[in-house]
Every structure is written in structure tokens, then in C-alpha cells.
Chains A and B, each alone.
Chain A
């Protein structure tokens, strides 16, 4: 097990190196000079300043040299300076990472608590009124675009009812509610449907019938046999979904002025602020690799038939 984890982490380094190399190559292909115009406006930069900045950021050197320098600094934890504000990329991104994580964790909690609970209830009370209502609502929600839900929530609770400020302090838990729900609601609906489906399948399985026939208490059957076996696809889904959330949720962040990774990425791409683009992308890749590993480890815990080797 320990060896397996080590090997996977070793692979991660290779994946990260590959990712940065591809990113560098892609950024090189994009036409336009990344320091050719002013960050905040649509104006050409003074040629003397362009020259100075190109020297300062090594943009006058061949791509392979730039990449080498970048990787050399990266292993020391230095991700360079951004091109507009000229601040350390790590310093810029750290608060954004924290904000994104907060939102992702809150959304994930809603997904699990609300989605899974509703799915389980619906499966247990199959074809009841509750089940029908859940199926109806989740079907509707899955079809809703995030921005519609977000705009509706913001307009209602912040602009009209004024229960929460439109623009608030991100350290205030109240500010987290609307974006977390916006982000989670569609996912929660998907989780509920997925949970219901797999649960119904497991409930029909022979070993569950056998357990019930043997006279094992229902509670125990549900917890030990049904839950454990039906949760695997849900864990897979949640793992992928959490990775996506940690990579930033551009639409939700935009609507609620949530200063996260998603917004940083979209602005940086527009401004060709390459150090930020590379940093965010590298971060997203790293998160996915780690989460995949965590999901694989969870499988092994949940299903003894799966062996890690």
C-alpha cells in the first residue's frame, strides 16, 4: 500500500512536468506579445517599457530556456511574477486558492449531505410520493444552467430582500451560502439520482435478499451491505466533481464576486498573463492527480475485491 502510494506520487511528478511543458508550448503558439499592452486597458505599451519587461521576464530568450528557468524556480516554490501587477504569483494565488477551497468544500458538503440523503430516502421509499417528487425536482434541476440559479438567488436574497450583502467580506460565512448552494444544487441533484439508482440495484441483489432471509436486522443490512456497495459509483462521481470544484467555478465566482481560481484563470487568459495561467493549470492538474489517488484508495477500503498493486 505504502509502495503503491509512493509510485503514484512519482508518476505525479512526471504528469506535472508534462503538463507545464504542454502549457508552455501552447502559450508560445498564441500570437500577440504578452507584455505588449497595458494590463488594465486597451492600449499599446511604450516600446522602451516593452523591451525592459521582456528582458526582466526572460521573454527575449528561446522557449526551451524559458521553460528550463521556470522549472528550476518551480522546484524552489517560486512561480515567478505576473505581468500586470508584477507581484509574486504564489502571493496572488494563495488567497484565491483558499477561497476556492472554501467554496469547494462547502459545495461538496451540500452535495453529500443533501444529495446522498435525498437519494437514499427516495430509493428506500420507492414509488412513494416522496420518490416521485424527488425524481421530478432533480430532473428539473439537472436541466437548469448554473448562471440562472445564481442570478436568481443573488437578485432575490441580496438585491431584493437584502438578507446578505451583494459584495461582502469573503471571510464572513454568510457570504458563502449563496455561491455554495448555486454551485452544489445541480451536482446534488445528480448525486441524488445516482445514489437512488445504484441503491435500488443493490437492494435487488442476491446477497441482500439472502441477508434479509437469514433474519439480519434491516438496519444492519442497510448499513453494512447496501450502503457500502452502492456508494462506490457515487464516490467516483464526487471525486471527479470535487476536482472540478477545486479548479475553480468560473460562472459561480463571477456572479457572486467570489475571488477564486476560476476567475483568476479566465482573466489571466484574456490578458495573456502567462505565469498565472501556467500556475493555475499546474495546480488543477496536481489536484486531479491527488484526488484520483484518494478515490482509488477509497475503493480499496470500500470494496475488498479491489487490490492496489
Chain B
């Protein structure tokens, strides 16, 4: 309803009167009996404005796009060599072929010819080289450029001693040759990340503020005016898009406060203002009851894992028996039912079920049912006697308090441990975790940047991912539990050197079996189970993608 100015002020007056009177007016829900059609093959109709809310992204310029919100925008604006579906299956986007040489030290990408940026400029191999070089440059200080670390010449760009990317060449406009300093038969999987996007000639360096706020891309959508920080981002269909064109006319993205964005998104959805929303955990049950019968409630295990990170190089959890004792003592089922009201699924693996081929349920044997006797037996064996002090750190502000308390309580009850809970801001927690005095347990979670089990196993568990600073003895990599097992490292190396996907998967499974099944280097808790409400009464082909965002490029009106 559009209000005239006079009407608005009448509303003000009336609202004060009604504020008290209408408190007793319980929820009124719209109840038209229309059944949502789940037919995803319906002929697509162009048009319509899709609306949703996100929190302020760090960046929408591909050089530094990092979290799922920024990725939503950047993926709408840019199309790279490859794309990935919700199940983590890679397919060609602008690439027509992607071929490694014999030892995977060089990759050749054939690029589809004739596509353009939204300003009409041609997208060729040079556009890619430009984009990648710009992100890897020292001054960019990009948080995501490390995905290019395998490419020859990356180090020189990062330390500022070079301004060109020596590993990248374009023998002709439609061929991009990538020389790797570190051989990788899975390199092509990385290219779906937005940091590998092509950019226009006038993009300039990553410090170009104009392009940062209004990047010109080659994606299914283009910006309708620059990013209005903390307010909104508006996208319109790019009619000159080189691949299958989008159906939506417009996407209106409201930027919300990060503190209660899920609450605001859900309220916006309830008021009919948003077509897609997250929900606060406390309201999931009520939302499911209302929206599931209408087919508007989405619930799935996404690309991610919640686990406890035990410090394995010293402290009470040095032995694998001690870690197993902790794992057996945790009643995951009770926490899932009690704290999460069933909206998380218990995990028995590190590599989540979203990776269908590699998923091996039950690989963590101690993650099944709580077993108090076994826990006590293993604890006695490991010298984890009742009264032992056990540090348990977690970051505040992430909604972790309730389950951390529950886990600590269970460890106290079953093993008699003196669990010392420490809730601190993330940056402080990280500092503690990285330090040489780290001990005990830390809350942790991980999501893969590109669809391979290797992106869980490598950064979290390989010896090279410890990367200790020799001066301060602080861990700089993501393997902060300091797990180190040569046999595991060897399996991962074999996997990245294998060109056969099936064999690779098998090697990754063996590696997971070793690090999680045998050594329990990380203690899995529950999957990254996600929930959304989606307005499927109005839209077809509306689903979630690999980054948990709505499939904007496919959605169309009913």
C-alpha cells in the first residue's frame, strides 16, 4: 500500500491510540489455500522483483569477496571459469574445457568466445589475468587471494617484488594457461571462487574505491547504481549476459544490522517484504509449523561442520584415548534435541554429507551414541582422572553459549573433569588458540571454499597447515590443534597428485579414516544444518546454492 504524506501522519496518530488496544490481537496469518507448485520445469516467465535482506558484506568487488552475503552479490555480478551446484558438483561456466598436463603442473582453460562485460567490453583470457593479478597484488591485502597460492609467481606478487603474474599466460584471447608452482590435479575446483573472476580494463588496482563500490562484471545481473553501504544494493538483469540469462527483472537487497539480521529477515518475510529469509533459532519450530505445510520451509545439511578442536601437541588431550573419552562422554543426541530442537543433525564425520561421494557416515566411531562406560575406561587409560582441569574456549556472540554449557556439564558428569569454560570474543579466542600455551578444547567450525573434501582435510589437519612462526611459536595456519601425521600428509599428497576423481575420493576417505576414525584429531559434533523460508508461492526454481544463497539466476515468476 502506498501512503500519501497526509495519510502517513494520520497513521502516526492512529498508531499511538491502537498501540495499547491491539496488543491482544493475536497473530493473523494469511490463509489462501493455494498449493505451491514444486514443478521446477515450468516454462520460465521473465520479470518480477525478488527481495531479501543480508548483512553488510565486507566487499562485493571480487578481489576481496569473502562471506556468503558478499558472494551472493559478487556471483550475481560476475561469472568465472566454472560454477558449482548445491551438491558441490563442478561444471564449466565460461570455460569450454579445463585440462591439466601430465603431472598437473600446468592447466589450460579454453574460454568461451564472444561474451562481454555489461559495459560491452569483451571477456577474454586477459580479463582473467587482470582480475587474478589485481587480487594477488601486495597492496590489495586480499583475504581470499591465498586461494591462488599454488600459482607460479604468486609469492612475488604478494611481497611486492613483481607486478605481473608470471604463472599466467594467454597464448590467444580464448586460452588461459596457468602454471602451478605446487602441482594440483584439483586446481580447477578453485576457479569457481569469486576471487578468480575476470575484471574490466578500467577496474584498476584493488584499491580503486569506485570499482569497489560499483564493480562492472559479466554476470547474470548488473548493479543499478553503486552499493549504498548499510542500506541497500539493487541488481537488475544483465540482458547482454553470455550464458543462460536470468529471469528476474530486479533483485532488491536490503542491508540489515548484523546483531539481529536473522530476526529482521524473518519479520520481513512474515510481513511479505522479503522472499527469502533466515530465522532466529528460537523461532524455527514455529516457522516450520507455519511454512512447511506450504512447501516454503527449506532444511538441509550444508557445506560445513561444527566440531571441537582439541589441542593435540600438549595438555590433557595429547593422547587419542583422552580425545575419544571426551567424544564418548558427549551426548550429541540430547544436545541436538534439547538445545537445537532438532534443527541440527548429529555429525559422525568431518567431511559433511553435502559431499555426497566422499561422505562416510560413522567414520568417527565415538560420535555415535553417548557411552559413559567406554568414556570412563578410555579416560582412565589416558590419565584423564576426575578433577583434571580442562580448558574449553569459545567465542561469545555466536549463539554458542547453551551447547557449550551442555557439553561441559556432560564432561563433568561422566568424567568428573574440572571443565573451565572461557567465553571471549573471537579475536581473543583466536590469539589464545594460536599461542604456544594453547591447551584443552576450542569451539570451531569450518566450511569448504571449493567443493573437495581436501578443503576440509588439508587446511585443518595437514602438517603444512600448522605454519608455526619460528619467533613467537604462534600457529599461523588453520591447523591450530597441531595434529601432525606423516601417513596422513602422504595420503593427501597422493590425492592432489591424482587425476582420477574416483581415486582421489578414495584417498581422501582413507585420510579422513586415519585422522578422524583412528586419531580423532578433531571431535565432530553436528552438521551445518541450514534453514530458510522461501516464497515458493510466488517463485519457481527457488532453492539454495553451494553458498547457502537463493539461486537468483534461475528463479522466475509463477
Residues of A within 8 A of B (CB): 30-34, 36-50, 52-53, 56, 84-87, 92, 95-96, 152-167, 169-170, 173-174, 177-178, 181, 253-255, 257, 259, 263, 266-267, 270-272
Contact = CB atoms under 8 A, between A and B. Distances in A.
Top-7 shortest CB links A-B: A32-B427, A40-B67, A47-B476, A32-B428, A52-B141, A46-B146, A166-B268
B257 A263 contact: yes
Contact of A156 (B22, B59, B67, B260): B22
B11 interface: yes
A173 B8 contact: yes
Q: Among A163, A165, A166, which residue has the most Cβ atoms of chain B within 10 A? A: A166
A36 B469 CA distance: 14
A163 B11 contact: yes
A40 B259 contact: no
A257 B15 contact: no
B143 A33 contact: no
B264 A34 contact: no
Interface stretch (B119-127, B164-172, B239-247, B269-277): B269-277
Contact of B16 (A87, A170, A181, A254): A181
B25 A40 contact: no
A31 B431 contact: yes
Interface string B264-293: 100110111110000000000000000000
Given A32-B427, A39-B58, A47-B467, A267 B258 contact: yes
B445 interface: yes
A48 B158 contact: yes
B13 to A, nearest CB: 10
Nearest to B138: A52
A115 B116 CA distance: 62
Contact of A153 (B19, B229, B258, B478): B19
Q: Among B57, B259, B270, which residue has the most Cβ atoms of chain A within 10 A? A: B259
Contacts of A169: 231
A254 B264 CA distance: 9
A254 B263 CA distance: 10
A144 B283 CA distance: 24
A41 B67 contact: yes
A177 B15 contact: yes
B267 A159 contact: yes
A272 B427 contact: yes
Contacts of B272: 162
A38 B67 CA distance: 9
Nearest to A153: B19
B114 interface: no
B228 to A, nearest CB: 9
A272 B58 CA distance: 15
B368 to A, nearest CB: 28
A100 to B, nearest CB: 12
A228 to B, nearest CB: 30
Contacts of A84: 58
Contacts of B8: 173-174
Given A153-B19, A254-B257, A259 B270 contact: no
Contact of A36 (B55, B267, B430): B430
Given A42-B426, A152-B19, 17 more contacts: A32-B430, A33-B430, A36-B427, A36-B431, A38-B58, A40-B58, A40-B67, A46-B145, A48-B159, A92-B229, A95-B229, A152-B23, A159-B270, A160-B28, A165-B273, A166-B268, A259-B231
B12 A40 contact: no
Contacts of A164: 11
B16 to A, nearest CB: 7
A267 B469 CA distance: 30
Contacts of B58: 38-40, 84-85
B133 interface: no
B11 A174 contact: yes
A56 B138 CA distance: 11
B260 A254 contact: yes
Contacts of A87: 209, 229
Interface in B355-386: none
A263 B259 CA distance: 8
Contacts of A257: 256-257, 264
B527 interface: no
Contact of A42 (B12, B267, B445): B445
Contacts of A92: 229
A275 to B, nearest CB: 15
B106 interface: no
B6 interface: no
A37 B427 contact: yes
A34 B23 CA distance: 45
